[in-house]
């Protein structure tokens, strides 16, 4: 999440929120324009970031050779902490932006992550393939229905006993969630954004609503394991072994 929220501290690199009142930018272009200083922004301007990135990494499998899918990996900020606890993990990292992936590849060449440039909604994520999936600060732009669709794909991509760790910008109450979703719909209408086009417009759900979407997608158990201001960490388990 990169936004106007952190603008007081670092206006040029601001990435957390594009309000519906400003003209929207296409998703990959939005992040590429802010690539310079991106990681500093994430860690300094988002409250709790210095804690929730390492916390997220500790929730991922520690076993050597664990297969992990990272959705919306960007430059791989979360991997800095994950490779520190599991240097032998096998990562598949998806992002819309090749420029973000290029930075990731350069930083983690020693660990040979696999990178895939594309839209995780449109991509085949496979079946029974990963021990864990993770997504940090990437999915708060989408509606409840879009998320159920995506979470179902993630559910089937996990092996039984696998888990999905979702660290994201979530709204505190249903009224605020409604305001954000309605503002996003207005922007889509106002700018004539076609179905399937991805624009950077923040519209976070509440943690409760997010957990409901994960359950509807098939996850047997969903827990909120941490919260820092507007960021929560949810863990959703496929099967009972989590
Ligand atoms: C705020 S960045 C987070 C990057 C990284 N996870 C982190 O925490 O630093 C959000 C990333 O999600 C990617 N993204 C957003 N929607 C996506 C989609 N539908 N498919 C693939 N990547 C997406 C963006 O390109 C961007 O790199």
Q: Show the tokens assigned to 233.
A: 């960490």
Each domain of the chain, given as residue ranges in start order, spans 45-237
Q: Which of 46, 96, 108, 153 to mutate to test the pocket of ligand 1 (most atoms within 8 A of CB)?
A: 96
Sign, Cα dihedral of 178, 207, 149, 167: positive
| C-alpha of residue 87 to centroid of ligand 1, in Å | 23
pLDDT at residue 242 greater than cutoff 50: no
What superfamily would CATH give domain 45-237?
Vaccinia Virus protein VP39 (3.40.50.150)
Mean pLDDT for all residues in the chain: 91
66 and 91 Cβ atoms separated by less than 8 Å:
no
pLDDT at residue 148 greater than cutoff 50: yes
| C-alpha of residue 75 to centroid of ligand 1, in Å | 9
88 and 131 Cβ atoms separated by less than 8 Å:
no
pLDDT per residue over 23-55, tens digit each?
A: 899 999 999 999 999 999 999 999 999 999 999
pLDDT per residue over 163-175, tens digit each?
A: 999 999 999 999 9
- Other CB atoms closer than 10 Å to residue 182's CB: what's the count? 12
Q: How confident is the model over 62-74, as a mean pLDDT?
A: 98
Q: Quote the pTM value.
A: 0.92
Q: Which of 13, 16, 69, 95 to mutate to test the pocket of ligand 1 (most atoms within 8 A of CB)?
A: 95
Q: Is 104 in the pocket of ligand 1 (CB under 6 A)?
A: no
């Amino acid at each position: 999440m990169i936004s106007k929220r952190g603008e007081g501290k670092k206006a040029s690199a601001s990435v957390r929120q594009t309000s519906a009142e400003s003209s929207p930018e296409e998703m990959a272009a939005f992040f590429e324009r802010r690539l310079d200083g991106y990681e500093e922004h994430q860690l300094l301007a988002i409250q709790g970031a210095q804690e929730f990135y390492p916390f997220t990494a500790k929730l991922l499998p520690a076993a050597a050779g664990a297969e992990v899918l990272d959705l919306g990996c960007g430059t791989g900020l979360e991997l800095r902490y994950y490779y520190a606890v599991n240097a032998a993990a096998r990562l598949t990292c998806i992002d819309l932006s090749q420029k973000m992936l290029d930075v990731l590849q350069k930083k983690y060449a020693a660990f040979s992550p696999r990178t895939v440039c594309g839209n995780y909604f449109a991509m085949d994520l496979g079946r029974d393939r990963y021990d864990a999936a993770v997504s940090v600060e990437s999915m708060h732009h989408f509606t409840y229905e879009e998320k159920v669709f995506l979470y179902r794909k993630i559910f089937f991509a996990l092996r039984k006993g696998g888990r999905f760790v979702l660290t994201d910008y979530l709204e505190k109450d249903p009224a605020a969630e409604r305001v954000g979703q309605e503002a996003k719909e207005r922007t889509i209408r106002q700018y004539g954004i076609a179905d399937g086009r991805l624009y950077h417009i923040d519209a976070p759900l509440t943690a409760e609503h997010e957990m409901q979407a994960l359950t509807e997608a098939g996850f047997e158990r969903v827990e909120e394991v941490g919260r820092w201001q507007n960021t929560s960490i949810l863990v959703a388990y496929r099967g009972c072994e989590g």
